[in-house]
Amino acid sequence: MASCPALLVAAPASGQGKTTVVAALARLHARQGRRVTVFKCGPDFIDPQIHALASGRPCQNLDFGMCSETDAAWRLARAAQESDLILIEGVMGLFDGKPSAADIAMHFGIPVMALIDAGSMAQTFGAVAHGLASYRPELPFAGVLANRVASVRHADFLRSSLPDGMDWFGALPKQADSLPERHLGLLQASEISDLTQRLDQLADALAATATVNLPAPIDFPDIAPPVTPPLLAGQRIGIAHDAAYGFIYPANLETLRALGADPVFFSPLADEPLPACDAVWLPGGYPEVHADILCRRFALWEQLRNHVARGKPMLAECGGMMSLFEEIVGVDGRTHAFAGLLPGRAVMQPRLSALGTQFVTLPEGNLAGHTFHFSRSSTTLDPLCHAQTPDGRSGEPVWRQQRLTASYLHLYFPSNPLAIARLLGNE
């Protein structure tokens, strides 16, 4: 049994500033020499990149749908043994989704700090806080922190509106230092040139205006990680990794290493060639944002064609898959020629095209994953299969040519390491 202070930061809705506050908390405590491990509820790629920079440690995902309760439990147990503080960023509103951030907090007994955007309210703040605290009485509710507060007097109004006995974590002022966004959420950490400076400023503001003492320790039962046989021992996996291909779960890299594989990273944006490798993984990202550069990577596309022609495995997910089509059409209507390994095109849409957890049965085994994209793709290929949503509806198609497997799905490798070994391993 390991004990560690832990706090889940949630909010009434998206857009309240959860990522900013969690990153500021992580940065503040990490600067004080504490080992801070941050988790993100839900299958998010972008917020964890920011938390990893803020804390100096990888940020893992917690999600009972895609990741499973067992996966979440052993990762939290490991973090409790290795950390001085565990911070968890909720997803959407506190009670939104199945499972919700509240479900995760109650399952593990983790206290919840509610972050409320108070920019346009006064005493109503107390009513919102009361509702969050009492909606499910079994929720371990720790207190509230007000965000985007106009003045000290405003903060006093907010605090005085709280029900008797509810803890006040403090107030953060309005500031123009919010983190920049694009269509899939915040910019990736590598794209914000002054992110470290921003995080330090946020941590300073938090230290000056909020209660930043460590929460009380809670107990996490000892749970051993799963045993993964080294089925990919000695195999090199070439992984595209840059601002165009940055959607990589840290747990996926852990799984590859546990399987014995040697991940070798390369940057298509930097015009780096495909490294000598046994398999290739093209993760998701923003190829459409960098289309003017990527459409000129003729040598890389030829290397990938040769890789597939030699019967070697390749996994292309979402943006990685889009890059393998003949064309990508941006939201501005401009068409860019891409790799041409797959017939067809991907066309960016003004609105979200798909979102949510899905499960897929491949010849190699069953895998969980997540889809989140603004594009629609058309191809003459017949799908190998379709994923399914949790309620049994048909989900994303999966295409296959030789050992190339392509889909909008972002697979969660720990959901079935043996299937990943078959998917990326030598036949």
Give me the phi and psi of 289, to 5 degrees please: -70, -30
Which of 155, 165, 150 is closest to 123 using CA atoms?
155
- Contacting residues for 414 by C-beta, under 8 A, at least 6 apart: 67, 71, 226, 251, 252, 254, 255
Which residue type, as a one-letter code, is found at position 272?
E
**Among 41, 59, 318, 385, the one annotated catalytic:** 318
Which residue type, as a one-letter code, is found at position 306?
N
Question: CA–CA separation, 22 vs 37, rounded Å?
Answer: 11
| 52 within 8 A of 151, measured Cβ to Cβ | no
Question: CA–CA separation, 26 vs 57, rounded Å?
Answer: 10
How many residues does this entry show for the chain? 427
Question: Tokens standing for 382?
Answer: 């017949």
- Rg of the Cα atoms in the chain: 22
Cα–chain center distance at 198: 20
Give the torsion sign (CA, 211, 212, 214, 215). positive
Give me the phi and psi of 387, to 5 degrees please: -70, 170
41 is catalytic: no
Question: CA–CA separation, 193 vs 354, rounded Å?
Answer: 30
The two most distant CA atoms of the chain are separated, in Å, by 70
What is the set of active-site residues? 318
